[in-house]
Amino acid sequence: MHKSDVLIIGTGVAGLSTAIHLAMRRPTCSISLVSKTNKEECNTRYAQGGIAAVWDLKEDDLNKHIADTLDAGDDLCDEKIVRMVIEEGPQRVKEMISWGTRFDKSPNQEYDLAREGGHSEHRILHYKDVTGAEIERALLDKVAQLPNVRILEHYFAIDLLTQHHMGYNITRVMDNIECYGCYLLNLQNLKVETHLARITVLATGGSGQIYKSTTNPTIATGDGMAMMYRAKGHVENMEFVQFHPTSLYSAGGENPCFLVSEAVRGFGGILRTRRGEEFMHKYDERLSLAPRDIVARAIDSEMKLSGDEYVYLDCRHLAKEEFIQHFPNIYNKCMSVGIDPMTSMIPVVPAQHYMCGGVRIDEFGRTSIRHLYACGECTSSGLHGANRLASNSLLEGAVFGQRVASHVSECIDQIMLNEQIPEWDTTGTNDPKEMVLITQSIKELKDIMSYYVGIVRSNVRLKRAMDRLHLLYTETEELYNTSTLSPQLCELRNLITNGYLVTRSAGMRRESRGLHYTTDYPAKHPFLEDTLL
């Protein structure tokens, strides 16, 4: 049994920001950060475009960033939260810089601000096209200087500890569920360890791996949302799955798909059909820089009309040296697969990219379960509504990380450890005989979600998905109850839960809004409010 004052599950921008702020405010608090693989491996590390923050007050102002965020969110953002995040954003970015994060500057030593879809101004701070890796590096370096933070790598969080583990019956309508920490699977020896904490924070990232094509790394299996749902906490807005319009097309399929940043379109890249014709004017006056939901649907529609497997992103007219300077990672990747972006168009296709829904939180990252906070992509904070504005995600992780830390540091002294939690019980479990069953079920889940719950949905497709998910769920629960744990089995279980939550939420929304488009209700409903699970 392990004990910490605060247990933070996740070492991306959200988890690291929480740990840094908390450790600085409360140097005597013991803080454990958990990562299911290496501490660097997370969505944050792959972020390309950058972090949106109003920086140049001569050209930009907070209200414009707020308006762009609300517009992208299609009337489902919480305006109070949007204002709060955008107002606090520049301060969080300044802190990142003070902790050693580098952002590109132009020759006059001002920060070089990029523009992406849905933004009315240039306001994206970036480090070449590898901003996330730079932020992750700097935050990990900062954490390493804080003696009260330790990182547990290769520990897989399985389930949140609540009264359920002390034999009480817990239901979703109860408002006094408490969290006492987490069961963690030690991946070195495959033993489950009980980790007690006065406060637990979920910062587990997204769930892109429920789809066949995703830009998310393989760790993105929605574990936080699934643990929350199993613990009977509130999860919402899961129907709003963001597909990025431009991942690099690969005939054999790659997991993850390589992202071609929206910043490339901000830099002048133009979308064209395989016949070389522009098409975005048919869909939105902002052309290739319309918000992501519109561009992804436009590409999907063009591909369906033509039967093509991809469209093109044309960068041939852009200045070579500047392109390479801004996008070295994208340039090198294209060259490595035989595409010179300066002489050939880049084949691109939409891929799942971001989960707008998740664990419902308030302005301090508090969840519906006591002593449990959450921040980052695993949450539904009200910032993104029905569609996230580009580069608002790193910002959200940084702002909510600080807010969770400030609230926790105020209330932690009133919370005691609960030492009555029993150790994990392995009775009746054996090593699974056929691991291939797990791999096959993951493949089936991805097929179901991609064919029936993708960019365009319908009642018939959702019903079909639900029926098939039910079968997968039943088979997997049986396997789970009789098998010794493996990370693959835990991930399969979590993926199915996420697939179910997305499909069920999609079925409940009887309108098309933001990222949720259904042929049965093609229009936006004037009165429908957000649905809660």
> Interface residues with ligand SIN (CB under 6 A)?
48-49, 261-263, 390-391, 393
Q: Kindly tell me which of 391 and 418 has the beta carbon lying closer to ligand SIN.
A: 391
Q: Kindly tell me which of 297 and 384 has the beta carbon lying closer to ligand FAD.
A: 384
- Least Cβ distance, residue 261 to ligand SIN (angstroms): 3
| Residues sharing a CB contact under 8 Å with residue 379, sequence separation 6 or more, in sequence order | 202, 358, 359, 360, 361, 365, 400
What is the footprint of ligand FAD within residues 152-191 (CB under 6 A)?
155-157
- Least Cβ distance, residue 390 to ligand SIN (angstroms): 4
- Residues annotated as catalytic (active site), given as ranges: 292
Q: Kindly tell me which of 133 and 462 has the beta carbon lying closer to ligand SIN.
A: 133
**Binding partner of 127, given ligand FAD, ligand SIN, none, CB within 5-8 angstroms per partner class:** none
- Least Cβ distance, residue 393 to ligand SIN (angstroms): 5
- How many CB atoms within 10 Å of residue 140? 16
- To which residue do tokens 């002048």 refer? 268
In contact, 58 and 30? CB cutoff 8 Å: no
User: Among the residues of 176-222, which ranges form H helices?
Assistant: none
User: Among the residues of 56-130, which ranges form H helices?
Assistant: 62-72, 79-98
Distance CA 433, CA 444 (A): 19
- How many CB atoms within 10 Å of residue 315? 26
Options 151-159, 332-340, 439-447, 455-463: segment touching ligand FAD (CB under 6 A): 151-159
What is the footprint of ligand FAD within residues 382-411 (CB under 6 A)?
391-394, 397
CA 354 from chain centre, in angstroms, equals 5
Residue type at 10? G
**Binding partner of 358, given ligand SIN, ligand FAD, none, CB within 5-8 angstroms per partner class:** none
Helix (H, G, I), strand (E, B) or coil at 483: strand
- Least Cβ distance, residue 333 to ligand SIN (angstroms): 13
**Binding partner of 152, given ligand SIN, ligand FAD, none, CB within 5-8 angstroms per partner class:** none
Contact between 68 and ligand FAD by CB under 6 A: the answer reads no
User: Among the residues of 156-197, which ranges form H helices?
Assistant: none
Q: Kindly tell me which of 90 and 208 has the beta carbon lying closer to ligand SIN.
A: 208
CA angle 420, 222, 496 (to 5 degrees): 95
**Binding partner of 131, given ligand SIN, ligand FAD, none, CB within 5-8 angstroms per partner class:** ligand FAD
* Residue with the shortest CB distance to ligand FAD: 12
CA 425 from chain centre, in angstroms, equals 32
Contact between 237 and ligand FAD by CB under 6 A: the answer reads no
Distance CA 198, CA 370 (A): 10
Both structure tokens of 209 = 């791996």
CA Rg value for the chain? 22
Q: Can you give the binding site for ligand FAD, defined by CB under 6 A? A: 9-15, 34-37, 42-44, 46-51, 131-132, 155-157, 203-206, 215-216, 219, 223, 259, 354, 376-378, 391-394, 397
